[in-house]
Structure 1
Amino acid sequence: MSAAEQARTKGQELVNRGLLAGYQQVLRPGLFRLRGGDAEAIHEDMIRALGAAGRLPAPAQRLAGAALGRRGGATVAGIQFPGRVGVAAGLDKNGIAARAWAGLGFGFAELGTVTAQAQPGNPKPRLFRAKQSEAIINRMGFNNEGAQALASRLEEWGVQRGNRALGIPLGISLGKTKVTPLDGAVEDYLTSLRLLADKADYVAVNISSPNTPGLRSLQDGDALRELTKALVTEARVLNEVSPVPIFVKVAPDLTWEALDEVLETCEQAGVSGLIATNTTLGRDGLKGSDVRLAAEAGGLSGAPLTVRSREVVARIVERSALPVMGVGGIMTPADAQAMFDAGARLVQVYSGFIYNGPALVRGINSLPH
């Protein structure tokens, strides 16, 4: 490395440290105290604020994105991603902040999870911060305005698949409506796909959330075979020349045998890739006073998932040629680098962004390619 490159790298490190310290020591404590510490209310306020920020003129957003260092990128499933770190599903369920993510340095954003019908989700409280453990437990239950509402919002903003109207590719995560019985799940997913396929650069099939009864059973054998085949076939019907890529999001709690079966099924169905992983039902990694939250139902995300999600990605890469987006426990740029080293082509963040802010995005963007 030349002296100029060393100086530039050192400068980036200093900027990243300053951004991280400012967020962790000043901004985050204040944010976490708002609304009496109600994590869900604070999250909703943040999304609304980002939605308002997304109305800033495009030049201002491009300048902000450049300051946060988006560069490099990758081509996955035929999609050109301008950066390798994206917004994970669940952070922006209804796409309210979709116009702001590019300005925060993200290379793509996965909106949702949305369902065919609007639904309120599970009873509150349903979102808990395990601060000492840098973790989150949620049992949201796919609360969202529905696939049609998201389609209408994106239509209003001129979003069409591939046109980069919001500056970055958009994925859309689809889930099953809670009131839909499992034997109606395929048609439920197809309804959402038909509404959103022309707005999404890729579609993520969420069959691994632990917060909708029976949903994870769709990862099993015949159920997964039927669902993936139907979605891939319908994507081709909707656009014969260039069908929207279908990604399947898997749980971290699968046995290796079950994961191998998922991979074989996805390959046979023509799925374009995997997203690994969703939240876990395990409670290992909770520290100190956070142990009291272990009895709360729902999925655990954040630092306790770092190792397991990386292991799952490595297993997928070992057993399959399908590209992988790595998500789960990416709290630092080093975690992202380890995920890339395990074979992930792209990474997504949620809990890491909540705990470490835009500095995490900038730090990942600064990683060597």
Structure 2
Amino acid sequence: MSMPPTSAAVPRRVLGTVSTTAYRRLVRPAAWRLDAERAHHGTVTAVDLMGRSALTRGLLAAGGAAVPRGEPVELLGLRFAHRIGLAAGMDKDGRGVPGWGALGFGHVELGTVTARPQPGNPRPRLVRLTSSGAVINRMGFNNEGVEALATRLRADRAAGRVRLPVGVSIGKSKVTPVEEATEDYLASVRALEGLADYLAVNVSSPNTPGLRSLQDAGPLAELLTAVVGAADVPVLVKVAPDLTAPALEQAVGVAVDAGVRGVIATNTTLSRDGVDPRDRAVAQAEGGGLSGAPLTLRAREVVGQVRRLTDLPIIGVGGVMTGADAAALVDAGADLVQLYTGLVYAGPGLVADAVAATSGARWG
């Protein structure tokens, strides 16, 4: 880190540590008695409810989970209270925007949402690898469709409940042929007009057949040029951690030429490198994208590669399990950092820890 955390952030780090300990001892054991996907949906429902309750917001503040004091960041024409946000995949349908703010996030990325409602892949499709600090998912963009998300976000904005930047990750509907992907994405762009603060084009999930082929130069150029031309907000592209260095360089070059305003690095990985030996048999047997601690170093590496290729803003995602992991992504070149799997293992106290660790870093 180039600078230590500000003194105002230190109490939040202490509170975050207390909150994390309580989560691991009390909340996580109960939640993990449930199927992983049921626990996931229960979490989103709880966040939705707490975000609409003044009493709950007060209790969160007393427990150290209120908005942490970090260094504000000006990026993409937006002001972020600090660097730490929620990654796409946690709140696909935009149910908990006020609650995520109450838990201390500086921004939230909803989705991935598709133009058409879809159930996703057959269950079970979400697996914890507890010894590895990891999760495998093959959800397949299960969501209620972009119109449902747009309706919720419109209502939250009208009621004044949106108090942080909100991005929306858009993907291809499974039933849409890859050759018709551009129009499918554009349907989502049109539905979200005036509602999102930025759009993230997801072409890197491993769980929709053919989707990653859209990272190839020709299809990617067509798609991004069309989305950038149609969008009323900054457009970012999300890249996979499994791209080779030449493929990543090509994808970033295409994105820059298309007028994309930023890069999100990374998504889940098909690799099983770094999995604890106790989880290896399950990891090899379960298909889908791996997230969590085994992705920590690879995500950091990809962020560094992207930073060497472009001056565009970068959102770093992948394997952020501690505040130190968040700080390392910033030092590698990320301007913002997003959390997902780390929340499963550390709980909401991770937000305060990550804010404290990244306050005053690189762009502070």
Alignment TM-score, normalising by the size of structure 1 = 0.91
Partner in structure 1 of residue 121 of structure 2 = 122
Q: Deviations over 1:168-205 (max 9, x none)?
A: 01000000000000111000000000001311000000
2:255 pairs, out of 266, 282, 285, with 266
Q: Deviations over 1:57-104 (max 9, x none)?
A: 399469738745143221111111112100000000001111201100
Q: Which whole-Å CA distance do the structure 2 matches of 1:210 and 1:23 have between them?
A: 31
Contact 1:62 1:103 in 2 (8 A): no
Partner in structure 2 of residue 16 of structure 1 = 16
Q: Which whole-Å CA distance do the structure 2 matches of 1:341 and 1:129 have between them?
A: 29
Classify 1:260/1:8 alpha carbon distance in 2 versus 1 (closer, same or farther; 3 Å).
Answer: closer
Partner in structure 2 of residue 246 of structure 1 = 235
Q: Which whole-Å CA distance do the structure 2 matches of 1:70 and 1:106 have between them?
A: 11
Aligned sequence identity (%): 50
Structural RMSD (CA): 2.1
2:276 pairs, out of 287, 298, 301, with 287
Q: Structure 1 counterpart of 2:339, which letter?
A: V
Q: Deviations over 1:224-273 (max 9, x none)?
A: 000000001112xxxxxxx3000000000000000000111011010000
Partner in structure 1 of residue 26 of structure 2 = 26
Partner in structure 2 of residue 147 of structure 1 = 146
**Counterpart check, 1:228 vs 2:217:** no
Which residues of 2 match residues 326-365 of structure 1 at below 5 A?
A: 326-365=316-355
Greater Cα shift, 5-14 or 315-324: 5-14
Classify 1:246/1:58 alpha carbon distance in 2 versus 1 (closer, same or farther; 3 Å).
Answer: farther
Which residues of 2 match residues 74-113 of structure 1 at below 5 A?
A: 74-113=73-112
Structure 2 residues without counterparts, runs of 5 or longer: none
Classify 1:63/1:289 alpha carbon distance in 2 versus 1 (closer, same or farther; 3 Å).
Answer: closer
Classify 1:197/1:332 alpha carbon distance in 2 versus 1 (closer, same or farther; 3 Å).
Answer: same
SS of 1:75's equivalent in the other structure is strand
Greater Cα shift, 218-227 or 165-174: 165-174
Partner in structure 1 of residue 210 of structure 2 = 214
Q: Which whole-Å CA distance do the structure 1 matches of 2:230 and 2:10 have between them?
A: 50
Q: Which whole-Å CA distance do the structure 2 matches of 1:284 and 1:223 have between them?
A: 29
Partner in structure 1 of residue 155 of structure 2 = 156
Q: Which whole-Å CA distance do the structure 2 matches of 1:181 and 1:358 have between them?
A: 39
SS of 1:209's equivalent in the other structure is coil
Query: Size of the alignment, in residue pairs?
Result: 352
**Counterpart check, 1:205 vs 2:201:** yes
Classify 1:58/1:250 alpha carbon distance in 2 versus 1 (closer, same or farther; 3 Å).
Answer: farther
Q: Deviations over 1:8-65 (max 9, x none)?
A: 77654443322221111221111111xxx31001111111111111211399469738
Q: Which whole-Å CA distance do the structure 2 matches of 1:53 and 1:13 have between them?
A: 22
Q: Which whole-Å CA distance do the structure 1 matches of 2:216 and 2:354 have between them?
A: 34
Shift of 1:289: 2.6
**Counterpart check, 1:45 vs 2:35:** no
The structure with higher relative contact order (CA 8 Å, sep 6+) is 2
Contact 1:61 1:102 in 2 (8 A): no
Greater Cα shift, 353-362 or 169-178: 353-362
SS of 1:101's equivalent in the other structure is helix
Classify 1:364/1:142 alpha carbon distance in 2 versus 1 (closer, same or farther; 3 Å).
Answer: same
Q: Which whole-Å CA distance do the structure 1 matches of 2:307 and 2:196 have between them?
A: 25
**Counterpart check, 1:307 vs 2:306:** no
Classify 1:214/1:345 alpha carbon distance in 2 versus 1 (closer, same or farther; 3 Å).
Answer: same
Q: Which whole-Å CA distance do the structure 2 matches of 1:312 and 1:53 have between them?
A: 36
Alignment TM-score, normalising by the size of structure 2 = 0.92
SS of 1:218's equivalent in the other structure is helix
Partner in structure 2 of residue 187 of structure 1 = 183
Q: Structure 1 counterpart of 2:177, which letter?
A: P
Q: Structure 1 counterpart of 2:311, which letter?
A: A
